[in-house]
Structure 1
Amino acid sequence: MRSLWLMLCLGLLAFSQVRAQDENLDDLDLGDIAEFDENDEEFLRLLEEKSKNQDVERENELASKLAEVQHNLLNPVVEVDPCETMHCGAGRICQLNEDKPECICIPDCPKELEIRRHVCTNKNETWSSDCAVYQQRCWCDIKDPGCLHPDNAHLHIDYYGACHEPRTCDGEDMKDFPRRMRDWLFNVMRDLAERDELTEHYMQMELEAETNYSRRWSNAAVWKWCDLDGDTDRSVSRHELFPIRAPLVTLEHCIAPFLESCDSNNDHRITLIEWGACLELDADDLKERCDDVQKAVPHLLG
């Protein structure tokens, strides 16, 4: 019986490789194990207590590791590409420079062999693609050697397709154009409202225009101006006028000279006051109420 107890004790001691925390167990001398008689039960009790302590420690360690894994799963460390939140205008792409995002000109544009991809600029020049036009604008803006002419910094697309002989906008057509433009803007705003494709803010403006005739044209003018102001700098560039100009230029031959006339100070940007004056609206009726128009479902003709 004594040898059985001895083998059990030795096996338990060999199995344990962690330093005993219990001082009583540390003081045991294996050479004296043969002398144990009445103290055998106390010795086994100490071994059992040590084993329980080790089990608790292992369980706590496993629980701690499990909690860490669960935390990492629920709160993963996501490396965000800085370029994902960097907005670059047309003709530019984001590139990291020493881990900092910066906008650079598009280095290469795909070669477009399809004539349908050609575009006509405000200089009545046919370019191979819209990318080529935007790239040229960027190069001229930063004075890159690829710039063909300094004026190309303000180059923009008039319409898609090769250039054709423009029709002349005579005096009477030009004189009546602001009225046609006002009506067109209101009708488009109303159509989008009927399709529930305006933000709540502009839905309210459209409803006001329906019930208050004096707000009909001014509300539509403010809505479209806000819609065109893509970079929300409270002015519309000639480039940002493209969504209006491109689809209408073949239908309304006065659209190009009309939009050019809106830039009264020739700074290549159109303020809300200039926009209203162009549409022959009273400046007092134009109240800037631009909300986050980018949240609207569509971007008209854009």
Structure 2
Amino acid sequence: MRSLWLLLGLGLLAMCQVQASEEESLGDLDDLDLSDMDENDEEFLRLLEDKAKAKDVQRENEIASQLAEVQHNLLNPVVEVDLCETIPCGAGRICQIQDEKPECVCIPECPEEIDTRRHVCTNTNETWPSDCSVYQQRCWCDSRDERCANLDNAHMHIDYYGACHEPRTCDGEDLKDFPRRMRDWLFNVMRDLAERDELTEHYMQMQLEAETNHSRRWSNAAVWKWCDLDGDTDRSVSRHELFPIRAPLVSLEHCIAPFLESCDSNNDHRITLIEWGACLELDADDLIERCDDVKRAKPHMLG
């Protein structure tokens, strides 16, 4: 057995020596000067052939090395992590890397808005060129930046879209008739979204039911919008959550603001479904039942 291992070891040693010798001889071929040799001489032709083979081997090794590097990169990709993706910044702020750490800072510049339709009116009855400029100013004032025009601006918010205008008084027949107009508007918006396949499956079923059963026409639309506004699903809608429905309508419908204010019957700055139904002159018990169904539904978009 020992003699067998000895023979194997000697054989491997000989192979290594031969390979080393071949590599050395191939390397020496590049240093040969063939200019003084006869082109018909056999030695010249042999050396020329060996030199060509050496170049082929070198090229094959280079290709193999490149392929190995590509395969390694595919199997071990370098993933660059955007640190800012882990930091949510509020309105008027963007994430920037400061000292290799993500940090939320006030947005440095807002796009210049020429279109007056982009103007917004704040709760201080001031017209600003865009919502970006409002959020930027609020951020500056919140962080006590020297560009803050008034420290009270840290608490301002957008009241409605468009330039500020003299508020019209909503009273009498206008205010009395508004719940009916509001119910019509909610149903028409729900119908339009259904036609564009932009409702969840459960809301789509409610809309189809409202189309075929007129007793569900207004209540289903009211439930859809109230549950849609209740973003944190705490079974009440805050004034902040009312923004998507209030801001676009104030400049068009002068009764929307006093209507929403009146819905908060106990003045706790939140509107429950019972209060919502009372404002729209609907059956509150029916609204609660339907909203429970919506809460249990799994949201996935159609279309």
Pairwise TM-score range, normalised by the shorter structure: 0.5 to 0.7
What are structure 1's unaligned runs of at least 5 residues? Answer: 1-8, 18-54, 298-302
| Residue aligned with 2:95, SS | strand
- State the alpha-carbon separation in 2 of the partners of residues 82 and 222 from structure 1: 40
Match of 2:79? 78
- State the alpha-carbon separation in 2 of the partners of residues 75 and 232 from structure 1: 43
- State the alpha-carbon separation in 1 of the partners of residues 103 and 240 from structure 2: 21
Q: Structure 1: which amino acid aligns with 2:159?
A: I
Q: Structure 1: which amino acid aligns with 2:107?
A: I
- State the alpha-carbon separation in 2 of the partners of residues 280 and 170 from structure 1: 17
- State the alpha-carbon separation in 2 of the partners of residues 83 and 292 from structure 1: 31
Q: Say if 1:240 and 1:132 are closer, same or farther in 2 by CA, change over 3 A.
A: farther
The range that moved more, 98-107 or 172-181, is 98-107
- State the alpha-carbon separation in 2 of the partners of residues 147 and 239 from structure 1: 24
Q: Structure 2: which amino acid aligns with 1:132?
A: S
Q: Say if 1:66 and 1:232 are closer, same or farther in 2 by CA, change over 3 A.
A: farther
Match of 1:15 among 6, 14, 22: 22
| Residue aligned with 2:160, SS | strand
Structural mapping, 1:1-302, within 5 Å = 13-16=20-23, 69-70=70-71, 72-73=73-74, 76-84=77-85, 86-96=87-97, 101-112=102-113, 115-139=116-140, 146=148, 148-150=150-152, 153-160=155-162, 162-229=163-230, 236-264=237-265, 270-284=271-285, 285-286=287-288, 287-288=291-292, 289=294
- State the alpha-carbon separation in 1 of the partners of residues 68 and 283 from structure 2: 66
Q: Structure 1: which amino acid aligns with 2:210?
A: A
| Residue aligned with 2:91, SS | coil
Q: Structure 2: which amino acid aligns with 1:122?
A: N
Q: Say if 1:250 and 1:118 are closer, same or farther in 2 by CA, change over 3 A.
A: closer
% same residue: 74
Contact 1:130 1:157 in 2 (8 A): no
- State the alpha-carbon separation in 2 of the partners of residues 296 and 85 from structure 1: 30
- State the alpha-carbon separation in 1 of the partners of residues 143 and 300 from structure 2: 28
Q: Structure 2: which amino acid aligns with 1:196?
A: D
- State the alpha-carbon separation in 2 of the partners of residues 80 and 148 from structure 1: 39
- State the alpha-carbon separation in 1 of the partners of residues 300 and 160 from structure 2: 23
- 1:203, CA displacement in angstroms? 0.9
TM-score normalised according to structure 2 size: 0.62
Q: Say if 1:116 and 1:176 are closer, same or farther in 2 by CA, change over 3 A.
A: closer
* RMSD across aligned positions (CA): 4.1
- 1:130, CA displacement in angstroms? 1.6
Write out per-residue CA displacement over residues 178-237 of structure 1, whole angstroms, 9 at most, x where no aligned residue. Answer: 221122101211122123232223211212323444433232223223444567776545
| Residue aligned with 1:120, SS | strand
Contact 1:122 1:156 in 2 (8 A): yes
- State the alpha-carbon separation in 1 of the partners of residues 171 and 108 from structure 2: 42
Match of 1:37? none
Contact 1:159 1:245 in 2 (8 A): no
TM-score normalised according to structure 1 size: 0.62
- 1:168, CA displacement in angstroms? 0.9
| Residue aligned with 1:93, SS | strand
Q: Structure 2: which amino acid aligns with 1:244?
A: I
Write out per-residue CA displacement over residues 12-46 of structure 1, whole angstroms, 9 at most, x where no aligned residue. Answer: 551257xxxxxxxxxxxxxxxxxxxxxxxxxxxxx
Contact 1:139 1:153 in 2 (8 A): no
Q: Say if 1:260 and 1:15 are closer, same or farther in 2 by CA, change over 3 A.
A: farther
| Residue aligned with 2:258, SS | helix
What are structure 2's unaligned runs of at least 5 residues? Answer: 1-15, 25-56
Write out per-residue CA displacement over residues 136-178 of structure 1, whole angstroms, 9 at most, x where no aligned residue. Answer: 4445566767372547525223121x22222110133222212
- State the alpha-carbon separation in 2 of the partners of residues 102 and 233 from structure 1: 31
Q: Say if 1:156 and 1:211 are closer, same or farther in 2 by CA, change over 3 A.
A: same
Q: Say if 1:281 and 1:105 are closer, same or farther in 2 by CA, change over 3 A.
A: farther
Contact 1:92 1:138 in 2 (8 A): yes
Q: Say if 1:141 and 1:177 are closer, same or farther in 2 by CA, change over 3 A.
A: farther
Q: Structure 2: which amino acid aligns with 1:15?
A: E
